[in-house]
Amino acid sequence: MKTEAVRGHLDGLLLAVLEPGPLHGYAIITAVQERSGGALELRTGTVYPALKRLERLGLLAGDWQSTGERRRRCYTLTDAGRRTLAEERTAWREFTEAIGAVLDTPARPARIRPAT
């Protein structure tokens, strides 16, 4: 999927990969890419401001942690984040079912009205 298509769903993807547990920025990026089987094209830099926005909205909680010589900001899904993720999943299923219902329905032969 192209970058622009992924961008519209970035928040949901980030919340989803944080559901099992806290991750830092780059681990979040690799988790999205691994879970999508490498099918999602992601400008990885845009993940960081998106994480900041989700933190400001109270959907994630950020915390600096030291791993070896490096400090990394780890993000945890908050209760509000879990609720939002559940809502996003429901909305996505309804959306794909509706689109799928239209796309997958075999086209009926066009009725040609005889000219009078």
User: b/e string for 34-64 if b means 16 or more Cβ within 10 A?
Assistant: eeeeeebebeeeebeebbeebbeeebbebee
CA–CA separation, 6 and 42 (whole Å): 7
| Binding of residue 98 to another protein (CB under 8 A) | no
| Residue among 91 and 98 whose Cβ is closer to another protein | 91
Residue 39 in contact with residue 1, Cβ under 8 Å? Answer: yes
Give, as ranges, the residues between 6 and 45 that touch another protein (CB under 8 A): 7-12, 15, 24-27, 29-30, 33, 41-45
Residue 72 in contact with residue 24, Cβ under 8 Å? Answer: yes
Among 71, 90, 94, 100, binds another protein (CB under 8 A): 71
Residue 73 in contact with residue 94, Cβ under 8 Å? Answer: no
Segment interacting with another protein (CB under 8 A) among 57-65, 97-105, 108-116? 57-65
CB of 17 to another protein, least distance (A): 14
Residues contributing to the site for another protein (CB under 8 A): 2-3, 7-12, 15, 24-27, 29-30, 33, 41-50, 52-53, 56-59, 70-73, 80, 84, 87-88
